[in-house]
Amino acid sequence: MLGASVRRFATSAIRRSHYEDGPGKNIPFSIENKWRLLGLMAVFFGSGFALPFVVIRHQLLKK
């Protein structure tokens, strides 16, 4: 009985979803402009890579 109600809910939830299918449609940013995507990825990964070096420099310069 519980399994049947869960199955009905899951089926109706799938039918109610109106999302587009295909590559790049289920991510929160656009991949249409490759240069904008490159810039966003460079800032995102670059900031994570540079942060430890900035923190160490700050600690070494602090008196």
Residue 37: exposure state from Cβ atoms within 10 A (0-12, 13-18, ≥19): middle
Three-state DSSP state, 1: coil
Give the pLDDT confidence score for residue 11 in this predicted structure: 67
pLDDT (tens digit per residue) in 18-36: 667 777 788 888 889 999 9
Q: How many other CB atoms are found less than 10 A from the CB of residue 43?
A: 10
pTM, 2 dp: 0.55
Q: What's the rounded Cα separation, in Å, for the pair 24 and 61?
A: 44
